[in-house]
Amino acid sequence: MNIIPWDLGAIPSRFFLFSEAAWYTVQITGLGVLLGLVIGLVVALGRLSSVKPVAAVSRAYIFLIRGTPLLVQLFIMYYGLTSIVTIAPIPSAVIALGVHNGAYIAEIFRGSIQSIHYGQMEAARSLGMPKGKAMRRIILPQAFKRAVPSLGNQLIIALKDSSLASTIAVPELMLRGRQMGSSTFMYMEMFIIVGIWYLLMTSVLSFVIHRIETRLKVSDRD
Amino acid sequence: MTDKEKQKKPEKKKKQSIDPNAPFLRIEKLNKYYGDLHVLKNISLSVKRGEVVVIIGASGSGKSTLLRCVNFLEKARDGKIYIEGKRIRNHENQLNKVRQELGMVFQHFNLFPHMTVIQNVMEGMVQVKGMAKDVARERALELLEQVGLSDKADVYPSMLSGGQKQRVAIARALAMDPKIMLFDEPTSALDPELVGEVLTVMTDLAKQGMTMLVVTHEMWFAKEVADRVVFMDEGIILEEASPEKMFSAPEHERTLEFLKQILPPQDDA
C-alpha cells in the first residue's frame, strides 16, 4: 500500500527516456546564448557609441526586448512571421532565445565595460592606440572577466527559460514531460524527472562557472 | 567629433621649415572650460629640446589639465599646440601618431592589470608600432633593466608596490621612444618611502637628455632637476623662472605663499 499516491519507482525507471529531450534543451540553450553573446556585445558597444543614431537603436532594442515576455517573442518568431517566412521550431527557439538574452547580455556587458576605470582607456590612447584597438586589447578583456558572474547567472536563466520552447513544438525537456505525462497519466512523476534534469544541468553550470571565476582571478587584486 | 573639423579646410600644402632653435613643444593661448568654469586661461608655454620644465601650483590650479591638453586627453576649447613647429590638430589619425611621441605617466599608473609587467611594456611596441614580438621583448627587458625591475618581468602588476608600478609605467611610456615625457603627478599616489625610487628614475632620464614636462609637488625634484619652474595659479601661469630664482626670490606674493605652505621650514640652504 502506498502512502503517497504516486509511483516514485517510475522516476528512476523512466529517467533516461528524457535524455534526448535534455540534449535538445542543451542545444537550443547553448546556441541561443551564443547568439545572445554576439548580439549582446554588438548592442553594448552600440549603446556606448558616440554616434547618436547607433546608441538610440541599441537603446530601443533593449527597451523592446527586455520589456516584452520571451513567450511573446517566441510566438512572433514561430507563428507571427509565417506570413513572410516559415521558420522551423528549433531555429525559431534559438533565434528567440538569442534575441531575448542578447538584450540582457548587452546590459551586462555595458555595465562591465563602464566599470573599467577610464584611466585604462587613457593609458592605451596615450600610447597612440586607436580607440577600437584599445577597446579590444585593453578594455574588453578586463570587462569580460568582470562580466563572468552575471553571464553565468544569465546562462542559468536561459536554460530554464528554454522550457518555453515547448510551446512551439521543440522536443525539449518540458514538451517531453508533457507528452510522457499525458501518455502515462503519471504527471507528477514525469515533471519530477523534468525538474531533476534541469537541476542537474544547472548544477553542472554553476560548478563550471565557479571554476572559471576562480581561474580568472589570477591577475586580479587591483 | 573630429570629422567636422576635417572638412573645414582643404589641406594646404604647408612648408615645413623646422627651425632647430624652435621650441620642441609650444602651447599657445590655450583655453579650457569645465562647463562655466574657466580652468585654463590663455595659457602659453614652450619647452625646448632636452629641457626639464616643472609645473607647480596648488591643486585646482589647472596644471594637470594643462598637461592632459597637451596630448589631447582633454580637448581645449581653443588655442594651439605645436610639436617641432607642427600644429597638432584634433584629428584621430594625427593624434594617434603624435601621442607616440608624447610619453605620458599618470598619477595612478594605469597599468594594464590583465597583462604581466613585460606585456605592459611590450603592448605599445607590438600593437601600435607593429614591432616583432621578440624584438619588442628584448627592448622591454632593456627598459625594465633601466628602471630596475628586470626581475619582475613576468609578474602581474597587482603583485607590485606603488613605486614599482610607476616605474613600469615609465618603462611602458619609454617603449614608444617618445621625444618628450609628460609626468602627471607621478609620485602623488605613492607612500612617502616609495617616492624616492620613482624620482631617481626620472632624474636619470633627465640626465640622459630627455625632454620633460612634469607636474609635481616634489619641490626637491623641481629644485635639483628642473631647468625651469612654472608656477600656476587659478588657471594662469603666474610666474616662470629658473629653480634658483623661483625658490629664493619669487616675484609674486601668491608664489611665495604657496612655497611657504609646501616647503618645510628651511634651516639652512
Reported as a single tens digit per residue, the pLDDT across B102-114 is 999 999 999 999 9
Is the Cβ–Cβ distance between A29 and A159 less than 8 Å? yes
B96/A129 Cβ within 8 A: yes
Is the Cβ–Cβ distance between B240 and B230 less than 8 Å? yes
Residues in chain B with CB shorter than 8 Å from the CB of A125 are: 73, 99
pLDDT average, residue stretch B137-148: 95
Residues in chain A with CB shorter than 8 Å from the CB of B169 are: 123
pLDDT, tens digit, 9 for 90 and up, residues B159-199: 999 999 999 999 999 999 999 999 999 999 999 999 999 99
Between CA B155 and CA A139 the distance in angstroms is 20
Residues 6+ apart with CB under 8 A from A88: none
Is the Cβ–Cβ distance between A20 and A175 less than 8 Å? no
Is the Cβ–Cβ distance between B247 and B259 less than 8 Å? yes
B13 has a pLDDT exceeding 60: no
Output the nine-digit C-alpha cell for B31: 583655453
pLDDT band at B262 (very low <50, low <70, confident <90, very high): confident
Cα B34 to its chain centre, rounded Å, is 21
A219/B158 Cβ within 8 A: yes
pLDDT, tens digit, 9 for 90 and up, residues A138-148: 999 999 999 99
**Helices H, strands E: what count in chain A?**
10, 0
Is the Cβ–Cβ distance between B81 and B87 less than 8 Å? yes
pLDDT, tens digit, 9 for 90 and up, residues B235-252: 999 999 999 999 988 999
Angle, helices A89-114 vs A70-78, to 10°: value is: 140
B263 has a pLDDT exceeding 80: no
pLDDT band at A112 (very low <50, low <70, confident <90, very high): very high
Q: In Å, how far is A5's CA from the nearest CA of chain B?
A: 58
Which of A120, A128, A221 is the closest to B112 by Cβ? A120
Instruction: Inform me whether the C-beta atom of residue A119 falls under 8 Å from chain B C-beta atoms.
Output: yes
Between CA A55 and CA B215 the distance in angstroms is 37
pLDDT band at B57 (very low <50, low <70, confident <90, very high): very high
Give the closest residue to B201 by CA, choosing from B143, B264, B250: B143
Chain B: residue nearest A217 by CA?
B114
B10 has a pLDDT exceeding 80: no
Q: What pLDDT sits at residue B18?
A: 54
User: How many contacts does A have with B, using Cβ atoms within 8 A?
Assistant: 76
Note the pTM of the prediction, 2 decimals. 0.86
Q: How many CB atoms lie within 10 A of CB B73?
A: 21
Between CA B185 and CA B64 the distance in angstroms is 8
- ipTM value, please give it: 0.86
User: Which among B92, B95, B112, B176 is the top mutation candidate for probing chain A, defined by the most A β-carbons within 10 Å of its own β-carbon?
Assistant: B112
DSSP secondary structure string for all residues of chain B: --HHHHHHSPPP-------TTS-SEEEEEEEEEETTEEEEEEEEEEE-TT-EEEEE--TTSSHHHHHHHHTTSS--SEEEEEETTEEP-S-HHHHHHHHHHEEEE-TT----TTS-HHHHHHHHHHHTS---HHHHHHHHHHHHHHTT-GGGTTS-GGGS-HHHHHHHHHHHHHTT--SEEEEESTTTTS-HHHHHHHHHHHHHHHHTT-EEEEE-S-HHHHHHH-SEEEEEETTEEEEEE-HHHHHH--SSHHHHHHHHHHSPPPS--
The 3-state DSSP class for residue A90 equals helix
A128/B99 Cβ within 8 A: yes
Averaged pLDDT score across all residues of chain B: 89
Give the closest residue to B41 by CA, choosing from B62, B71, B16: B62
B113/A220 Cβ within 8 A: yes
Which of B92, B169, B176 is the closest to A130 by Cβ? B92
User: Which among B97, B127, B168 is the top mutation candidate for probing chain A, defined by the most A β-carbons within 10 Å of its own β-carbon?
Assistant: B127
A133/B106 Cβ within 8 A: no
Output the nine-digit C-alpha cell for B45: 608655454
Residues in chain B with CB shorter than 8 Å from the CB of A120 are: 110, 112
Between CA A90 and CA A74 the distance in angstroms is 11
Between CA B116 and CA B127 the distance in angstroms is 15
Output the nine-digit C-alpha cell for B23: 621650441
Output the nine-digit C-alpha cell for A156: 542559468
Which of A125, A221, A222 is the closest to B99 by Cβ? A125
Residue B184 sits at the vertex; the CA angle it makes with B182 and B190, to the nearest 5 degrees, is 130
